[in-house]
Amino acid sequence: MKIVDRLTKRRAGLSWHLQRSLSWIPEGDLFGIEEIVLDEQLGPATPTSPEWHHNMEGRNLAVGGQYFGRRGDLPPSIVLYVASLYRGIPKIYWLSPVITLQLARTLAHEVGHHLIEQRGYIFDRGERVKPREYEEELSNRYSFSVRKRMLRRWYYRVADWLTRDLAGWHYAMGICEWRDGRYEKAAARWETTFCLDPNRADADYWYYEAKKALANKTQNSTTDLLKNDL
């Protein structure tokens, strides 16, 4: 398997974390994946981009990875968007298992997509993988199974606690920004919370609420300016 580095920013320990993450995924499940590409973040959607990509527009760095099946002569590959995976994590943790856990969660999810592409199922033959929501759920379950094995080690359990603690800190900072009327900053904090801990559905909810509040604030400001001009 080839690692393709397209990063514009160096991050200490990244190669080591990636190899540790790969070691927790069964070798047979990785069979057929010829490249893992390290990129900074998902680019803007184009007219030919899938619907989910358009839906993610404006969500900054929320996408941590992407799987590409075989396309003509291009082999199956996984792209990891490293800026998203490191988001909200201070440099003091960059050489800790916190990063390994973050990489493993996304990497395993994309491997789940690969398994469905290659053999039509992840755990059992006959699994329902259509529509897309079913495939996403199965890939999440595969990622959870990998993390579950990792969390048998005490240092990954500590890393998991630290990650959730970081998510909680960003969530609390989002509340402070909201109370001060800084809705854009609040949205960014809650998006970071969700990147760190996808189980924080409350952060996802308040992210959209902050975006709506920001849109209303901008609209009211524009209306006031028009009134003053008139």
Q: What is the CATH number that goes with domain 1-150?
A: 3.40.390
Mean pLDDT over each residue of the chain, to the nearest integer: 88
- pLDDT band at 226, cuts 50/70/90? very low
Q: Could you tell me where in the chain the CATH 3.40.390 domains are found?
A: 1-150
Residue 71 and residue 69: Cα distance in Å, rounded? 6
Nearest to 1 by CA among 36, 28, 26, 25: 36
**Model pLDDT for residues 177-198, shown as the tens digit of each residue:** 999 999 999 999 999 999 999 9
Q: Is the pLDDT of residue 202 over 50?
A: yes
**Model pLDDT for residues 13-32, shown as the tens digit of each residue:** 999 999 999 999 999 999 99
Residue 67 and residue 110: Cα distance in Å, rounded? 5
Cis before 75? omega within 30: no
Residue 51 and residue 69: Cα distance in Å, rounded? 17
Q: Could you tell me where in the chain the CATH 1.25.40.10 domains are found?
A: 154-230
Half-sphere CA count of 116, side-chain side, radius 13 A: 24
Interval 156-163 mean pLDDT:
98
Q: What is the pLDDT of residue 189?
A: 96
Instruction: Give the class (CATH, top level) of 154-230.
Output: mainly alpha
